[in-house]
Amino acid sequence: MTTERRLRLAGIAYGGDYNPEQWPEEVWAEDMALMGEAGVTMVSVGIFSWALLEPSEGVYDFSRMDRILDLLHENGIAADLATPTACPPAWFFRAHPEALPIDRDGRTLSYGSRQTFCPSSRAYRTAALRIAGALAERYADHPAVAMWHVHNEYGCHNAECFCDTSAAAFRTWLKAKYGNDLNALNHAWGTTFWSQWYYDWEEILPPRATGADPNPTHRLDWRRFCSDELLSLFTAERDVLRRAAPHIPATTNFMVMHNFDAMDYWRWAPELDIVSNDHYLLATDPESETDIALCGDLVRSLAGGRPWLLMEHSTGAINWQPVNRAKTPGEMRRNALAHVAHGADGIAYFQWRAAKAGAEQWHSAMLPHAGTDSQIWQDVMQLGADLRALAEVGGSTSPAKVAIVWDWNARWAMELPSQPSSELRFQDLVRDWYTPLWKAGVAVDFIRPDSPDLDRYRLVLAPSLYLVDDAGATNLAAFVEHGGTLAVGFHSGAVDENCHVRLGGYPGAFRKVLGVHGDELFPLLPGQTVGLAGQVPQGATADLWTERLRLTGADAVATYAEGPLAGVPAITRHAYGSGTAWYLATHPDPTTLATVLERIREEAGVRPEHDVAAGVEVVRRRGAEADYLFLIDHAGHGAEIPAEGVELLTGKPVVGSVTVPEGGVAVVREATREPSGG
């Protein structure tokens, strides 16, 4: 990020994807009037407009976009102008059928939807840079344009292509990684196994469908390549835009949400001028507010602690899950303000006006099919007023003393086939640890294993770090040595960056700092549980995972109460250097995990941001002159919370305590408080 390329919008931006090209122009005037009523300040335009902007190769029609941008400017609405490169037109594929992607099973996919192109296609890259360049040249000085929205959700539909062009690009990437040394690759991939040794670079293919389990390192390098390949498309477009318009910041919308794992966003984030994210709820998630909080904290961390933009979420039901549930009363407002609480300085929706036609005709929008005579429109108006009332929150940050280690390499590796258990899901394991902290109102950052400056934190948690390289493991051990508290989850440190098992006992890279030695893994079958005994709540159990562990310096805090590992340590605590390292060698039930994590946190001297009632989310944003205490009632009971200052959403002074309405939100401007645990 450079200081010159920041978004020049005051307060909290408000808006959504705006697709006026899908409507007759008479409708646009109504759009402007209603955007004005709702308090919309910025919209994303042109995301899927390639076919209209470039009717045939190199022939442009900017007339409609000219009118749209002029209209927005006349109405005081900023444009987040997209490059339309997620949707190459049909004429492009007729000229370049080789740019269509091929899936793992060898099927060529057809155009007629979106994001159906091979990321390594030269023809695609050339065409994408051409339209990006033409847009940049035409609109660099247009007063409406506040930001570039490069492409859309890279990797959403085409993170992997298995065609011969992708194979060649993969080999080029591998040659660079392994210094052109094929033997180095053979050793890293362990290709003496199953006769996989390669004698010629040309023999290497993408991990296409095979008869039995794939080579794990081959798969892992492939995922790294796929992320890098799309990143190179992003940076190429960004550079074209920068050359023409050096003053306009560029973003691309990430997909940090529940099950999307295709991109290594630690590598992407530094390339963006402004980090932005899309977040949708899973209808089957009974506590999706936890996912909003976790993802918000992760996005803020990707942004280096600086504010970020929520580029897309929904006012109501979406259209791409088996059953698309509507939001419950008040949920839309709670969702949006929770994103703000976790660092968003902009709230936007997919999309402004609900579509009549096309694959997303049943997706909610800010202006629903029913028009302004609708609950959603009332909520949209209310939210606009809320965001105006929160304008001064813009630019503030967050004061975390706890960090959770997050790593896409570890995630990809742990979820490869042929693991000790196929029941392990990285994001679920991290969320299990995140949830009790979030419920207790403890601020959390996310970090990479090798993050510098860990001494900013008192407590570092590594719930699920199956893969870690030496630098990461050393970094975390040094944090403990210098006085920090580290807690590590089971099956962490198991393999190195090449997915090779770390020999000499489990949990490989962390044996020494944790003061334990494991010699055999005992994953549990689905539904199987085991009792725990020791310093854990009465009736404590665990599931998913156990291992035969002995102490080599640590103390046992809990042991297995039954089964083949009865009496074996399950939770340990080790004084190491001037700090403490905990190992949770199993997956305790939620109450037990919450109790253990509370003890770890209290011993580390980390306090919640505020004492709150159960069910009320509490998040603190720290401004230059004040703190902003967000109180969000997810339980629907309402609460009276001690506070002093001003409640910004109502503008009322707060003396002694503030009322959080049932299912509602309060945001209190307070005098700056000592950082938690500080």
| Residue 6 one-letter amino acid | R
Catalytic residue among 229, 237, 312, 647: 312
Question: Which pair of structure tokens corresponds to residue 389?
Answer: 């009332």
Query: Rounded to the nearest whole angstrom, what is the least distance from the CB of residue 367 to ligand GAL in the complex?
Result: 16
Which of 350, 377, 406, 506 forms a contact with ligand GAL (CB under 6 A)? 350
Is-catalytic flag, 153? yes
Q: Is 43 in the site for ligand GAL (CB under 6 A)?
A: no
State the nearest-atom distance from the C-beta of 9 to ligand GAL, in Å.
21
Query: Which has the closest alpha carbon to 117: 132, 150, 95?
Result: 95
- Helix 288-302 to helix 331-341 angle (10° resolution) is 30
Q: Which stretch binds ligand GAL (CB under 6 A): 100-108, 137-145, 262-270, 312-320?
A: 312-320
**CB contact set of 281 (below 8 Å; sequence gap of 6+):** 288, 291, 292, 314, 318, 327, 335
Return binding residues. 114, 118, 152, 161, 163, 320
Choice between 278 and 609, CB closer to ligand GAL: 278
**In terms of C-beta density within 10 A (0-12 exposed, 13-18 middle, 19 or more buried), how is residue 26 classed?**
exposed
Amino acid at 16: G
Q: Which is nearer to ligand GAL, 312 or 633 (CB)?
A: 312
Question: For ligand GAL, which residue of 228, 264, 312, 432 counts as binding (CB under 6 A)?
Answer: 312
Phi-psi map region of 33: left, alpha, beta (phi>0 left; psi -120 to 50 alpha): alpha
Sole binder of ligand GAL in the list 363, 439, 491, 610 (CB under 6 A): 363
Q: Which of 54, 153, 160, 547 is catalytic?
A: 153
CB nearer to ligand GAL: give 160 or 312.
312
Cβ pair 532, 592 in contact under 8 A: yes
283 belongs to the binding site for ligand GAL (CB under 6 A): no
For residue 395, give Cα distances in angstroms to 49, 301, 305, 540: 32, 15, 10, 44
Feature table: binding site for Zn(2+): 118, 161, 163
| 318 part of the interface to ligand GAL, by CB under 6 A | yes
- Residue 80 and residue 14: Cα distance in Å, rounded? 12
* Candidate residues 111, 154, 280, 582; the one interacting with ligand GAL per rule CB under 6 A: 280
What SS3 class is residue 185? helix
Q: Mark residues 260-279: x for contact with ligand GAL by CB under 6 A, - for none.
A: ------------------x-
Q: Is the peptide bond before 507 cis (omega within 30 degrees of 0)?
A: yes
Least Å from the CB of residue 383 to ligand GAL? 18
Specify whether 312 is catalytic. yes
Closest CA to 617 of 628, 598, 632, 635: 632
**Least gap, CB of 1 to ligand GAL (angstroms):** 23
In the set 30, 271, 360, 603, which binds ligand GAL (CB under 6 A)? 360
CB of 106 to ligand GAL, least distance (A): 27
- Footprint (CB under 6 A) of ligand GAL, residues 144-183: 152-153, 156
Radius of gyration over every alpha carbon of the chain, rounded to an integer in angstroms: 26
Q: Which residues are catalytic?
A: 153, 312
Q: List contacts with ligand GAL (CB under 6 A).
A: 152-153, 156, 278, 280, 312, 318, 320, 350, 360, 363
